[in-house]
Structure 1
Amino acid sequence: METTKKLKDDHPIAKKKKEVMTMHGHIRIDDYYWMNQREDPEVLSYLNEENKYTDRMMKKTEVLQDKIYNEIIGRIKQTDMSVPNKEGSFYYFSRFEAGQEYPIYCREKEKPKTDMTMEIISSMERKETRPNEEVILNVNEMAKGFDYYNVSGIEVSPNENILAFGVDNVGRREYTLYFKNLLSGELLIENIPHTSGSVTWANDNKTVFYTIKDEALREYKIFKHVIGTAPSEDIEVFHEVDDTFSTYIYKTKSKKYLVIGSSSTLSTEYRYLNANFPDDEFLVFHPREKDHEYTIYHYKDKFYIRTNWEAKNFRLMETSEDKTGKDCWNEMISHRDDVLFEGIEIFKDYLVVEERINGLNAIRVRSWENGKEYFLDFPDKPYTSCVGYNPEYDTNMMRYIYSSLTEPTRIMSYDLKTRKERVLKQQVVQGGYNPSDYVSERLFATSGDGKKVPISIVYKKGLEMNGANPLVLYGYGSYGISMDPCFSSVRLSLLDRGFIWAIAHIRGGEDLGREWYEHGKLLKKKNTFIDFIECSKHMIDNKYT
């Protein structure tokens, strides 16, 4: 049966096939439902026709396409490494080697009372082989013979002897779990298929918890496995029966508790268990409630709770370990109408708070001892920042990430006590890049109801605002996802050709708080589109384009 017809310009048009669908008492007609079958020869034939049409229409731009493609890949450093993270008595890091597609995961034993971070980074930059480096996984070797290969969820046991990791060699985000003895280098016999790709270790060095997915790839069950036993003997410890929720498990930074989380769009629930006793029952922290979102953290003998209970922009509460119900929570950081409280990072002597103020990220540091506070200072406007990966609890050194529309992303090490910082790693733009050659601005457009909508823009210095510049205006405005202004080396190919790049921080995102999100969804969704239109008008009226 013919599935396409063509217009005069040879453009393929998909044929309509009426499909009647009844859902929730409503009848819906989908004329293109047949295209849902990705392996159907008719579908593949139509897609091939579309690809051929695209190739014909873009034929005149092939030279330009190749030029831009080579520019983009030419800016990317082909050999790279992660910043080492100290966990326990080892520094863990990954690196890429020239001509290799996959990472090599490594670790190195710590030297007493020595921060080895910069030492390891310097060696890697000089391409020196470190004599004490231990390769725990070389994914390039593992991937031989496969068209697709992805390793995830690398987790080492508390005694640092067994490595757990997930492998997906199909591309469907279903992973088989494997375990490797790091002392002998041998893989253990057992493997566990159809998982989400990671484990959480109990403190006994033999018990792990993992999540499996249903047919819709929803993470819905958590199982317990004991190293050395058959996976068929694994015990189901939690089943999320509500298909609007997904589930996951993690260990608190204090290493004391295992936590099972269940989350949907607007509701969460947690269960917790002492990680020293993995065979005990998980206890409900606080039962799920409609429109109640909360997250739990642990420090010393208390739990800390980020919650939107009577706090649209969230607040921080605390409670004792043995009284976790909402009625026992006490306020620590109050709700503010103009500040979105996004989360915390706990250190032994300091509490680090992540907030969003006037649409921009803020990092606030508070002393546990005396309650004194200060904010980290960021020079650019606009910019984006966030607390990085900080697995160590007993330290004053915090990792955070900083970027702006003109400044390449850098990973920083910040001393919470002395307030001194250093760059651990900065994104390298091959071929040379000077941030001072570009200009970024933060503007505000007035939407139809009078709301001020932020716009972040970047362009090449010296560009004349004469109303004739090509401009890309990007917006998202859904699911409460904020569009933070960060650096992109790919974007330079536009900026260097006289383009302006602009981000419209429209409603539906959470850029200006929870209300910004709620006023861009459901019956108020039209605000998202009105905001975007008014941002476009603002750029035109002010001669940017």
Structure 2
Amino acid sequence: MVTPFASSFLCLYLQAPASNMSTIADNAATYRPVPPVAKKVEHRMELFGDVRIDNYYWLRDDSRSDADVLAYLRQENEYTDSVMSATRQLEDQLFAEIKGRIKEDDITAPVRKGSYYYYERTLTGKEYVQHCRSLVSNAESSPTVYDDMPTGPEAPLEHVILDENIKAKDHSFYRIGAFKVSPNNNLVAYAEDKRGNEIHTVHIINVETGEPIGKPLENVTSYLEWAGDENLVYITMDEILRPAKVWLHKLGTEQSSDICLYHEEDDTFSLELHASESEQFLFVASESKTTTIGWYLDVSKPGELKILMPRVCGVDASFSHRGNHFFIRRRTDEFFNSELLACPIDNIFETSLLIPHRKSVKIQDLQLFKDHLVLYERENGLQKVTVYDLPEIDKPLKGLESGRRIEFIDPVYSVDRLESQFSTSILRFSYSSMKTPPSVYAYDMNSGVSVLKKVETVLGGFDASNYVTERKWATAFDGTQIPLSIVYHKNLVKLDSSDPLLLYGYGSYEICIDPYFKGSRLSLLDRGFIFAIAHIRGGGEMGRPWYENGKFLNKKNTFTDFIACAEYLIENKYCTSEKLCIDGRSAGGLLIGAVLNMRPDLFKAAIAGVPFVDVLTTMLDPTIPLTTSEWEEWGDPRKEEFYFYMKSYSPVDNVKAQKYPHILVMAGLHDPRVMYSEPAKFVAKLRDLKTDDNMLLFKCQFGAGHFSNSGRFERLREDAFVCAFLLKALDMIPDPESHKS
């Protein structure tokens, strides 16, 4: 039986007259693959007097088991493989090149916890990490920035707690979502995902023996924390994969007897869980996109949750603890960039203001120590790390004086907080830029001394001085200045409009895409590419208003900002439209889909990873995971104003008969965030309507979810594939076959 998606070669073969059969066989070497054509099954949707016809709605299969759907996805994968077959040798070369830059046998910067150093080790040829620990040789000494775990003959005996390579052996996907060591260092609880759907199983083991403690906890999120040495707190999801219930589990008991501490029934809210740096409290937050409700749990006597932040619409917060006080980062409509408050544990309504709201500075995160407070802030689009001295732990708290700012050297960069010991004065953080590999620093908050503890090794002759990073500003249609981060090889780029350029964008959820280092990107930079990040509205780079002006009925600002950045790069001779490629993932994939419909003439090639492209249909269906919680991001299309606005930019709804650039779309079959059917429908509709012969490729990973493949080399292989696609689209490789399809 021939399925509705018979192989491309078979379709071509069956359509040929008998007299041409020998010609087809004789010319197999010059055979051009024919793209699969998805069948059309009319699905009518009507709202507010508006009728939409979705011929590819049938591609949605919640069970991921429909034979016709799977056959179509395999057809697309086979077609992609066929089109890219001529670049297979280049892809292999790129993979070897990218892989050759990493130090395969390595360890992460050790984290001291009590009498042990904890770290992860990678082994030559192995896809996954080992979770390890070693004894601290002088555990009684106070940590300093100069402390290091001994190496060589003096290295302490290493104990492998968990080897992910062994656990992943029989699975096409394997990822540890949480790895939590008990306060007494005797036990570990880890959450594993074996499908990519972000539904975890939690195992509790003895650190030394690896023996399991009780039965695993099933169907759990990655939110997992210890409450003392004998209890775990975790969160489970409801039928639409919304984190909805928080539970208390006593070791050695059945999961069925666990105590539900809270059930969030409002489907626009989702639960989160984290531990205070002091390890004395756990905080549970129920959050929408604008509002937070907060509770705390004393880990010394876990029982009921106690309220810390009541539900007040439009008030968002995060929490921490030190001594006799809770610390609260609070955002309101008036104080949109957040203020920092403190309140006594025994009277949460008696708040004192520590750091006032500032219109130009956004408080993004905070980290507490026994004697210090660290604020992670943003000003004018750049990250700041500021250290404040705190009074003795049992003294009253009041407004804090000016802090000490940690200085960074690159014009654009990225800083991430790392786990640090609460009782010390040593702050650990990771720093990188578009030309600086991730580097772990220990910073003494008393002396101001900063010591580099580890820098990610980049092999293959990498020299950071060969690369230039820049910060530029594009002007949006309404006059808003949009920051751009740019990197290129100083000896290969001419800046005369002849250079190829890859422009990346995201622009949603107040997420900041800071200028970061990526080793595989060097394969493009070293071939003369320029790489740029457009920090467009909808993200959080320039403060809370930056986000507000790129969501709801302002969402189109995200797309027009990106177009303005592209036009700026062309006008300033970084590239031409014939050399301009674009890239985005997830909500960034929505960005790519939208601008392709709006300005297909502006780009040569586009990459859309797990793209959220069927916005209107998805947001109208509350049974799809995450939909209800997303109404405060995109709007609720059950309201007429939002319906027509979302329809005006939703990529699937705006595909039309016009020429499009070369396009590569990627998806994960088990993705719980953007269902594979969205990109599948987008590709099917593009195939039906587009009027060009440019490449349109769809690659669906059958063993992956939202975050691509789980093995480190598998991810590098995907990077190599994307690089090969870009080089092919730009005719930058010798190719005997036309790339037209």
* Fold in common (TM above 0.5): yes
Q: Which of 302, 322, 326 in structure 2 is aligned with 1:303?
A: 326
Which residue in 2 is equivalent to 1:87?
A: 113
Is the 1:83–1:117 Cα contact (8 Å) retained in structure 2? no
- CA drift of 1:456 comes to 0.9
- CA drift of 1:442 comes to 0.6
Distance in 1 between residues matched to 2:174 and 2:485, nearest whole Å: 37
Q: Which of 469, 488, 499 in structure 2 is aligned with 1:440?
A: 469
Correspondence 1:514 to 2:515: no
Written as runs of structure 1 = structure 2, the 5 A alignment for 1:368-517 is 368-369=390-391, 371-390=401-420, 392-462=421-491, 463-517=493-547
Q: Which of 354, 374, 382 in structure 2 is aligned with 1:332?
A: 354
Correspondence 1:358 to 2:380: yes
Distance in 1 between residues matched to 2:260 and 2:457, nearest whole Å: 46
Which residue in 2 is equivalent to 1:230?
A: 254
Structure 2 residue identity aligned to 1:459: Y
Q: Which of 110, 113, 120 in structure 1 is aligned with 2:141?
A: 113
Written as runs of structure 1 = structure 2, the 5 A alignment for 1:144-183 is 144-182=169-207
Which residue in 1 is equivalent to 2:34?
A: 10
Greater alpha carbon shift after TM alignment, 75-84 vs 193-202: 193-202
Which residue in 1 is equivalent to 2:572?
A: 542
Of Structure 1 and Structure 2, the greater strand share is in 1
Distance in 1 between residues matched to 2:132 and 2:154, nearest whole Å: 12
Written as runs of structure 1 = structure 2, the 5 A alignment for 1:234-249 is 234-249=258-273
Is the 2:33–2:83 Cα contact (8 Å) retained in structure 1? no
**1:485 and 1:339, CA in 2 relative to 1: closer, same or farther beyond 3 A?**
same
Written as runs of structure 1 = structure 2, the 5 A alignment for 1:185-200 is 185-197=210-222, 199-200=224-225
Written as runs of structure 1 = structure 2, the 5 A alignment for 1:39-78 is 39-78=65-104
Task: Tell me the alpha carbon deviations over residues 151-190 of structure 1, each in whole angstroms, 9 at most, x when there is no partner.
Answer: 3422222222222222333433222222223355422233
Is the 1:12–1:53 Cα contact (8 Å) retained in structure 2? yes
Distance in 2 between residues matched to 1:366 and 1:292, nearest whole Å: 25
Which residue in 1 is equivalent to 2:241?
A: 217
Is the 1:507–1:528 Cα contact (8 Å) retained in structure 2? yes
Which residue in 1 is equivalent to 2:21?
A: none
Is the 1:80–1:95 Cα contact (8 Å) retained in structure 2? yes
**1:412 and 1:140, CA in 2 relative to 1: closer, same or farther beyond 3 A?**
same
Structure 2 residue identity aligned to 1:354: Y
Is the 1:262–1:269 Cα contact (8 Å) retained in structure 2? yes
Is the 1:165–1:198 Cα contact (8 Å) retained in structure 2? no
Give secondary structure in 2 for the equivalent of 1:247: strand
- CA drift of 1:24 comes to 10
Task: Tell me the alpha carbon deviations over residues 73-118 of structure 1, each in whole angstroms, 9 at most, x when there is no partner.
Answer: 1112211212111122322112122233322222223322165997
Is the 2:120–2:132 Cα contact (8 Å) retained in structure 1? yes
Structure 2 residue identity aligned to 1:293: D
Is the 1:164–1:198 Cα contact (8 Å) retained in structure 2? no
Is the 2:277–2:369 Cα contact (8 Å) retained in structure 1? no
Tell me the C-alpha RMSD between the 2 structures.
Answer: 2.5
Give secondary structure in 2 for the equivalent of 1:55: helix
Task: Tell me the alpha carbon deviations over residues 39-90 of structure 1, each in whole angstroms, 9 at most, x when there is no partner.
Answer: 2221222223322332333333233222222211111221121211112232
- CA drift of 1:387 comes to 2.3
Give secondary structure in 2 for the equivalent of 1:428: coil
Distance in 2 between residues matched to 1:27 and 1:339, nearest whole Å: 46
Distance in 2 between residues matched to 1:382 and 1:185, nearest whole Å: 44
Greater alpha carbon shift after TM alignment, 22-31 vs 341-350: 22-31
Task: Tell me the alpha carbon deviations over residues 278-320 of structure 1, each in whole angstroms, 9 at most, x when there is no partner.
Answer: 13x2111122222221111111111111111231111111212
Written as runs of structure 1 = structure 2, the 5 A alignment for 1:244-255 is 244-255=268-279
Structure 2 residue identity aligned to 1:408: P
Greater alpha carbon shift after TM alignment, 5-14 vs 165-174: 5-14
Which residue in 2 is equivalent to 1:323?
A: 347
Structure 1 residue identity aligned to 2:110: P
Structure 2 residue identity aligned to 1:397: I
Structure 1 residue identity aligned to 2:205: K
Distance in 2 between residues matched to 1:404 and 1:425, nearest whole Å: 15
Distance in 2 between residues matched to 1:348 and 1:492, nearest whole Å: 42
Which residue in 1 is equivalent to 2:167?
A: 142
Structure 2 residue identity aligned to 1:113: S
Which residue in 1 is equivalent to 2:628?
A: none
Greater alpha carbon shift after TM alignment, 8-17 vs 532-541: 8-17
Is the 1:244–1:264 Cα contact (8 Å) retained in structure 2? yes
Which residue in 1 is equivalent to 2:314?
A: 291
- CA drift of 1:510 comes to 0.9
Distance in 2 between residues matched to 1:86 and 1:57, nearest whole Å: 50
Task: Tell me the alpha carbon deviations over residues 414-448 of structure 1, each in whole angstroms, 9 at most, x when there is no partner.
Answer: 11111111111111111121111111111111111
Q: Structure 2: which 5+ residue stretches go unaligned?
A: 13-31, 392-399, 576-741
Greater alpha carbon shift after TM alignment, 444-453 vs 88-97: 88-97
- CA drift of 1:198 comes to 5.2
Q: Which of 125, 132, 140 in structure 2 is aligned with 1:99?
A: 125
Is the 1:81–1:93 Cα contact (8 Å) retained in structure 2? yes
Distance in 2 between residues matched to 1:34 and 1:122, nearest whole Å: 59
Is the 1:407–1:435 Cα contact (8 Å) retained in structure 2? yes
Structure 2 residue identity aligned to 1:257: F
Of Structure 1 and Structure 2, the greater helix share is in 2
- CA drift of 1:15 comes to 1.9
Q: Structure 1: which 5+ residue stretches go unaligned?
A: none
Distance in 1 between residues matched to 2:48 and 2:181, nearest whole Å: 47
Is the 2:372–2:390 Cα contact (8 Å) retained in structure 1? yes
Distance in 1 between residues matched to 2:222 and 2:375, nearest whole Å: 30
Give secondary structure in 2 for the equivalent of 1:12: coil
Is the 1:208–1:224 Cα contact (8 Å) retained in structure 2? yes
Q: How many residues align?
A: 537
Give secondary structure in 2 for the equivalent of 1:490: helix
**1:292 and 1:36, CA in 2 relative to 1: closer, same or farther beyond 3 A?**
same
Is the 1:83–1:121 Cα contact (8 Å) retained in structure 2? no
Is the 2:145–2:426 Cα contact (8 Å) retained in structure 1? no
Structure 2 residue identity aligned to 1:398: L
TM-score where L is the length of structure 2: 0.68
Is the 2:145–2:442 Cα contact (8 Å) retained in structure 1? no
Give secondary structure in 1 for the equivalent of 2:216: strand
Structure 2 residue identity aligned to 1:190: K
Greater alpha carbon shift after TM alignment, 45-54 vs 305-314: 45-54
Distance in 1 between residues matched to 2:428 and 2:47, nearest whole Å: 49
Structure 1 residue identity aligned to 2:130: I
Distance in 2 between residues matched to 1:145 and 1:130, nearest whole Å: 33
